[in-house]
Amino acid sequence: MTAPTAIRRLNAADPDFAQHLDHLLSWESVSDDSVNQRVLDIIKAVRERGDAALVEFTERFDGLQVASMADLILPRERLELALTRITAPQREALEKAAQRVRSYHEKQKQDSWTYTEADGTVLGQKVTPLDRAGLYVPGGKASYPSSVLMNAIPAKVAGVAEVVMVVPTPRGEINELVLAAACIAGVDRVFTIGGAQAVAALAYGTESVPKVDKVVGPGNIYVATAKRHVFGQVGIDMIAGPSEILVVCDGLTDPDWIAMDLFSQAEHDEDAQAILVSPDAEFLDKVAASIAKLLPTMERAEIINTSINGRGALILVNDMQQAIDVANRIAPEHLELSVADPQAWLPQIRHAGAIFMGRHTSEALGDYCAGPNHVLPTSGTARFSSPLGVYDFQKRSSIIFCSEQGASELGKTASVLARGESLTGHARSAEYRIIADEQGQ
């Protein structure tokens, strides 16, 4: 066990507070050069040597030795078998969660639209699903059946033709719930590979793994860094790295509840980040005491301890207004508003992946079954990214139909602008369509 928990304390009244906060949040301290270089090497190897590299990396990083890539492919029948191997309550819970996630995501579906102008010109937007999506389901330090649902259901709602999933199975340990979830969500193909090598395989294709149009899903630092590097070759959803929780509390929630909410994200990964902000100094002391009391009871105490010691913090602010300002500065993946009247503060929240309203709404409910997606932007990227959704699996094409009259009219405007750009090919192309008796008008 690492040193006993000593969570960092910050005070917003400290003149160096902004600097301390920046240091606490800095992604670079996690995503260092050695990780970057390792990921680049892995991507290069997969591009050059395909399946052979996947087999090698799976042995090296997942401790799983196989004769060939064929041993890392699970057919649809294997997913169906998993459904028969889980318990009835497990199947019921998966199906209930799937149904709630589906209902929520149905509302996100975007439809094509057009409108017609007076001269018959039609303008619009055609929405098309991706042909093939690659879903990354994490599996290193924990198994994530819930992430299967969160990745696959929006893809299916969007109408993606082929959904390919990758998931590492360290030491060959297959989690039946993960496969059962893939069956329920309608995943088409599964490869038991993970890490940067799996992201590279989806992005570039290998002899066995089909090249996809977009790679989505959460993962550790290697996965998140690989997604950054393959962007452009394929689409990606966002940077969904190590989990984060920011709790803003008025000091009136049970401190044990808050300690456990912090643990719920810290237990994902040593790199996870759990922060509490409160204007009540005594309450921060109580939560620190709850952390010390409850940590030894946790199955994943070692991971939680490293995460809390390395990246956690208890932040004292002057008042709730300052707490909200700090939350917007952090732009956390998950924000819990553990306060009496969360609705009153909601209008002021500008940056957060998901907002959990009130003392009873633990973040864990959102992780599994509330309905919204749990694949969320991390490390401050909620400033410009959104939760994974149906829109990530749909793209848009513009539709332009010009009637003869419309082309003639627009041609006059285009001609002037094109000549202003000295692009006379454009100008003359547009001018050809100007109706003769309107020329020069």
Ligand X SMILES: NC(=O)c1ccc[n+]([C@@H]2O[C@H](COP(=O)([O-])OP(=O)(O)OC[C@H]3O[C@@H](n4cnc5c(N)ncnc54)[C@H](O)[C@@H]3O)[C@@H](O)[C@H]2O)c1
Ligand Y SMILES: N[C@H](CO)Cc1c[nH]c[nH+]1
Residue 372 contacts ligand X per CB under 6 A: no
* Listed ranges 64-72, 114-122, 263-271, 358-366: which one lies at the site for ligand X (CB under 6 A): 263-271
Shortest spacing between CB 390 and Zn ion, in angstroms: 22
DSSP helix/strand/coil, 329: helix
Smaller CB distance to ligand Y: residue 208 or 386? 386
CA distance linking residue 208 with residue 79, whole number of Å: 19
CA distance linking residue 55 with residue 70, whole number of Å: 10
Which tokens go with 82?
Answer: 């998993």
| Three-state secondary structure readout of 19-76 | HHHHHHHCCCCCCCHHHHHHHHHHHHHHHHHHHHHHHHHHHHHHCCCCCCHHHHEECH
Smaller CB distance to ligand Y: residue 144 or 204? 144
The answer to whether the annotation marks 36 as part of a ligand binding site is no
Interface mask toward ligand Y for 115-144; x: CB under 6 A: -----------------------------x
Return the residue of 214, 311, 351, 374 that touches ligand Y, per CB under 6 A: 374
Interface mask toward ligand X for 141-160; x: CB under 6 A: xx-x--x-------------
Return the residue of 375, 402, 407, 414 that touches ligand X, per CB under 6 A: 375
Shortest spacing between CB 265 and Zn ion, in angstroms: 6
**96, 364 in Cβ contact below 8 A?**
no
CA angle 80, 83, 85 (to 5 degrees): 115
List C-alpha distances in Å: 357 to 238, 254, 280, 349, 433: 24, 16, 19, 12, 58
**191, 202 in Cβ contact below 8 A?**
no
Residue 376 contacts ligand X per CB under 6 A: yes
Residue 199 contacts ligand X per CB under 6 A: no
Place of tokens 């008025």: 250
The answer to whether the annotation marks 351 as part of a ligand binding site is no
- CA dihedral of 231, 234, 237, 243, whole degrees rounded to 10: -60
Is 333 among the residues known to form the active site? Answer: yes
**58, 66 in Cβ contact below 8 A?**
yes
From the annotation, which residues make up the binding site? 136, 197, 220, 243, 265, 268, 334, 367, 421, 426
From the annotation, which residues make up the binding site for substrate? 243, 265, 268, 334, 367, 421, 426
Q: Residue numbers of the site for ligand Y (CB under 6 A)?
A: 144, 146-147, 243, 265, 333, 367, 374
Q: Residue numbers of the site for ligand X (CB under 6 A)?
A: 38, 61-62, 138-142, 144, 147, 168, 194-195, 218-220, 222-223, 240, 242-243, 268-269, 271-272, 333, 374-376, 378
Which active-site residues does the annotation give? 333-334
